[in-house]
C-alpha cells in the first residue's frame, strides 16, 4: 500500500455531519500479490473524527489495463480501524496536514 503524497489536497468540510472538520483527499495504490492486480483508490480522511470514505477505485491488471472503475459519490464516512494500514495512512495525513507547506488551512 502506497500513499501518493503529491496528490494530497486539504480542505475544511462544509457538510452538515462534518462541518469545520479537517479533511485530506489522497490517492492510495494497493497491490494484491495473490492475483497480480493493483488498484488506485481516491480516499478522503477526516482528521477531526478519525474517519474515512472511499470516493473512487480503479482496478488494473498486471499490464496496467483497467479492469474496473467505480465512483462512490454518496459514500458515507466509516471509522478507521485501529492498528491497521488505514490508521497508519490517517496518521500520515495528519502529519502532512501539520507540516506540508502547500496546506494554507492550518
pLDDT tens per residue, range 15-57: 999 999 999 999 999 999 999 999 999 999 999 999 999 999 9
Angle at 23 between CA 7 and CA 38, to 5 degrees: 45
Residue 96 has a pLDDT of 96
Joined grid coordinates for residue 5: 503524497
CB atoms under 10 Å from CB of 75, counted, come to: 14
Residue 106 has a pLDDT of 81
pLDDT tens per residue, range 2-19: 999 999 999 999 999 999
**What integer is the mean pLDDT of 86-103?**
96
pTM of the predicted model as reported, rounded to 2 decimal places: 0.91
Residue 87 has a pLDDT of 96
pLDDT of residue 1 exceeding 90, the answer is no
Residue 40 has a pLDDT of 97
19 neighbors 12 (Cβ within 8 angstroms): no
Domain spans in the chain, listed from the N-terminal domain onward: 2-99
* Phi, psi angles (nearest 5°) of residue 36: 55, 45
Amino acid at each position: 500500500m502506497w500513499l501518493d503524497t503529491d496528490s494530497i489536497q486539504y480542505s475544511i468540510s462544509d457538510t452538515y455531519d462534518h462541518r469545520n472538520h479537517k479533511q485530506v483527499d489522497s490517492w492510495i495504490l494497493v497491490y494484491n500479490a495473490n492475483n497480480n492486480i493493483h488498484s488506485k483508490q481516491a480516499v478522503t480522511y477526516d482528521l477531526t473524527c478519525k474517519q474515512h470514505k472511499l470516493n473512487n477505485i480503479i482496478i488494473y491488471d498486471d499490464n496496467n489495463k483497467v479492469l474496473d472503475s467505480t465512483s462512490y459519490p454518496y459514500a458515507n464516512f466509516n471509522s478507521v480501524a485501529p492498528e491497521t494500514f488505514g490508521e497508519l495512512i490517517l496518521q500520515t495525513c495528519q502529519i502532512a496536514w501539520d507540516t506540508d507547506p502547500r496546506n494554507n488551512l492550518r
